Amino acid sequence: MDPYFLPKNFSLGTATASLQIEGGDTNNTWYRWCRQPGRIRDGSDCSVADDHWNRIREDIGIMKKLNVTTYRMSLEWSRIQPDIDSFDRDTLEHYRDEIGQLKKAGITPLVTLHHFSNPIWMEDSGGWIDESSIHRFERYAQVAARYLGDLVSDWVTINEPNVYLLLSYVNGTWPPGERSIIKYIRGARNMIRAHIAAYRIIHETRREMGHGDTKVGAAHHLRLFEPKRGTPGQRLAAFLQNRLFHEIFITGMSEGRFILPIGAGYPMGRGNYQDFLGINYYTREMVSFNITKPGQMFGDIGTREGAPVNDLGWELYPEGLYRFCKKYYRRFRVPIYITENGTADREDRFRARYIYDHLLQVSRLIEAGIDVQRYYHWSLMDNFEWAEGLEPRFGLVAVDYATQKRTIRPSGKFYAELCKNRGVTEAMIRKYF
C-alpha cells in the first residue's frame, strides 16, 4: 500500500437518506410496507430507525468529528406534503434548521428530493406510473427550492431511479410490490421527465431569488455488468443490463433524449439537464442471458468466482469506479460527484481498506484529468436498509438501535484522518493496515 493525496479543493463527505434514519413518519409508503408481514427480511421496520429527526445536533457533532466538509441528505416528501393540497410549514422549518446547523458547522449540504420513498397519497393515486407524477414532483421541487433555496445551492432531484423502478415494479420486493416490465418502462419515462422539470424549476426559482450558483443533477446507481465467460449470449445479457438499467436513465436525464425501449426523441426538449453527474457505485455483476428473467433484465446475475465480497455478497471491485467515471466524463464533460460509495461490513473488518481502495481510484482519476470533485461515503451511520431491514451495517458510525447510542468505528476514525489530511499518509497505513 502506498500513500496518496487529493487536491485541496476536493470535498469529502458522507451521505444518508431521510427514510432510512429519521424515524417518526407514518405517512410514507415504506412505513405502510413494513406493516405487512414478510416484507422486511429481518422483521424490523423504519418507524424509529436512527431517530435522527430528534438527534440532529448530536449527529452533526459526529460529522464534525469525522472532519467532513459536505453532507448529502434527503428531504422526506411525505413529511413536507402530507396530502395533495397542502405543504407542512413546520416540516420545512425543521429542515431549514437542520441545514442551518450544517452550514454553521462548516458542512455544505447536498439535498436530495426523492430517495425511494413516496407520500401515501401519491402512491395511491398512481405513483410514478401515472403522468401526474411529473407535475406533482415539479411542484414539490419548487416549494423546496423556494423555502430552502437561500441556504441550499446543490440539489439531487432523484436518487437511483433504476433501482427504485426495478425493485418496486419488476421484482416486486419494494412498495408497491408489482411485477411488470411495462410499468418499469412507463415509470422510467415519467421519472426522466420529472427530473428535467425539477432541474428547470430549481434553477428558475433560485435565479429569481438572486442566486447564480445553482447546481442540480441526479444520482445514478451504476453496477458494472460483465459477461460471465464472454459467449455471445452473455455479451447480449450484459448489453441488455447496461441498456435497461443504465443508459435509458443517464441519456434521458442528462440530454433529455429518450432511447429504445422507452421511446425516441426529446419529449422535454434537447438540452443539458445536469450540472454534475452523480455516481453511486458499489460493485460489479457477472451476467448471462436468460429470457425467462425479466426481473433481472433478462439475465442471470452472479458474483465472479473467488472474488472478495461484503456482507450482502457484493463483489469488492474498486476498479469499476475508475472505469465508470472515465467513461461518462469523456461523454458529458461535466463534474463528477461520487454521491454514494460504501460497503456492508458488520464487523468493520474491511471497510477502511474499501475506502482506501476506492479513493485511490479517485486520485488516479484526478491525475488522469477526470474532473471528480466530491466523494460521499455511504453511510454516515447504520440505518434501515430498505427490504433488508436494520441488519446490514453500512455506517462509519455504529448504531445500537435499542439505546440509539452512536459509536465511531475504527473505519470511521480512518476516514476522519483521511478527511483531515486530504489523503492517506504513511503513518495512517502503519496505524490502520
Domain parsing of the chain, residue ranges: 4-223+316-432
Q: Which of 381, 393, 422 is nearest to 15 (CA)?
A: 381
Return the exposure string of 38-65: e unless at least 16 CB atoms fall within 10 Å of the residue's CB, then b. ebbeeebbbebbbbbbebbeebbebbee
299 beta partners: 289
User: Could you report the per-residue pLDDT of 393-404, keeping only the tens digit for each?
Assistant: 999 999 999 999
Per-residue model confidence (pLDDT) at position 302: 86
- pLDDT computed for residue 121 by the predictor: 98
Of the listed ranges 300-304, 307-311, 337-341, the least confidently predicted one is: 300-304
CA separation for the pair 341, 361 (Å, rounded): 12
Q: What are phi and psi of 38, to 5 degrees?
A: 85, -5
Dig out the grid coordinates for 276 from the structure. 454534475
What beta strand segments (E) does 261-382 contain? 277-289, 299-302, 336-341, 372-378
Mapped onto helix, strand or coil, the DSSP state of residue 220 is strand
Does residue 310 contact residue 316 with C-beta atoms inside 8 Å?
A: yes
CA angle 348, 350, 356 (to 5 degrees): 120
Residue the block writes with cell 421496520: 45
pLDDT greater than 80 at residue 100: yes
Nearest to 381 by CA among 396, 392, 391: 396
Q: Helix, strand, or coil here: 172?
A: coil
Does the structure show a pLDDT above 80 at 290? no
Average pLDDT on 287-292 reads 78
pLDDT digits (tens, 9 = 90+) for 314-326: 999 999 999 999 9
- Dump pLDDT digits (tens) for 131-174: 999 999 999 999 999 999 999 999 999 999 999 999 999 999 99
- Residue 363, pLDDT > 80, answer yes
DSSP string, 63-119: HHHTT-SEEEEE--HHHH-SBTTB--HHHHHHHHHHHHHHHHTT-EEEEEEESS--B
Q: Are strands 70-74 and 11-15 parallel, antiparallel or unpaired?
A: parallel
pLDDT tens digits along 4-13: 999 999 999 9
**Average per-residue pLDDT in the chain?**
96
Using a pLDDT cut of 90, give the percent of the chain over it. 94
pLDDT of residue 14: 98
Q: In which band, very low, low, confident or very high, does the pLDDT at 289 lie, cut at 50, 70 and 90?
A: confident
Average pLDDT over residues 99-113: 98
Q: What's at 325, amino acid-wise?
A: C
Average pLDDT over residues 206-216: 98
pLDDT tens readout for residues 47-74? 999 999 999 999 999 999 999 999 999 9
pLDDT at 231 over 70: yes
| Residue 96 to residue 108: CA distance in whole angstroms | 13
- The C-alpha cell at 223 is 453496477
pLDDT of amino acid 294: 62
Which of 211, 70, 220, 217 has its CA nearest to residue 148? 211
- Note whether 20 and 383 are within 8 A (CB): yes
Q: Peptide bond before 379: cis, by omega within 30 degrees of 0?
A: yes
What pLDDT is stored for residue 297 in this prediction?
A: 61
pLDDT for res 230:
86
Give the span between the Cα atoms of 388 and 396, in whole angstroms: 19
pLDDT in tens, 21-53: 999 999 999 999 999 999 999 999 999 999 999
Q: Using DSSP, how many helices (H) and how many strands (E) does the chain show? A: 15, 13
- Tell me which fold the domain 4-223+316-432 belongs to: TIM Barrel (3.20.20)
* pLDDT score of 280 more than 70: yes
Q: Report pLDDT for 291.
A: 72
